[in-house]
Amino acid sequence: MTTYRARPVTPATLRELRTTDDSGRPLSPFTDAEGGAPLRCCLRRSVPGERIALVSYAPLRRWAAGTGARPGPYDEQGPVFIHADECAGPDGHEGYPFPGAHRTVRRYSHDGHILGGELVETPDDDAFRNAFDDPTVALVHVRAVEYGCFLYEVRRP
């Protein structure tokens, strides 16, 4: 059983992104011919034939809007895959999504500033425990090493 929980993009945010993404672009869905895209709405990989979209997402900006944090230049946006239509969300599986590749566990302060990061072979409870051992850490983003893309967020239990 995992101590920490990977957080998908929230349903309210997904509704917004399916209209206009965080770069102001309208949704441009397509049928995924190959599968394997890391879906941030349900924290699993796509399968061939699913309708998905690549949207611009600003996870720190959205978190800051709800907390009053001021990330300043640390506010960034990047591409994420989501289902083009509403989905059921994560299936409740144990463990952390998108295993099998090196990841960066990036730590953020309560102000939304980067406090550092750690390259991990696979995110696990030890990686998150290490990150949250620092009391100034408010949240953690897990990112893909190869493209730097945001995969999911983890908060204190």
As a whole number of angstroms, the distance between CA 110 and CA 12 comes to: 23
- For the chain, state the CA radius of gyration: 15
As a whole number of angstroms, the distance between CA 72 and CA 92 comes to: 34
Q: Model confidence over 118-144: pLDDT tens digits?
A: 999 989 999 999 999 999 999 999 999
- Within the chain, residue ranges assigned H as helices are 11-17, 59-67, 125-132
Per the CB < 8 A criterion, the answer to whether 137 and 109 are in contact is yes
The structure's pTM equals: 0.93
Name the one residue in this structure whose structure tokens are 């599986």.
93
pLDDT score recorded for residue 91: 87
Per the CB < 8 A criterion, the answer to whether 41 and 83 are in contact is yes
Residue 120 token pair: 């991990």
Q: Model confidence over 30-48: pLDDT tens digits?
A: 999 999 999 999 999 999 9
As a whole number of angstroms, the distance between CA 53 and CA 60 comes to: 21
- Average confidence (pLDDT) over 75-99: 91
% pLDDT > 70, the chain: 99
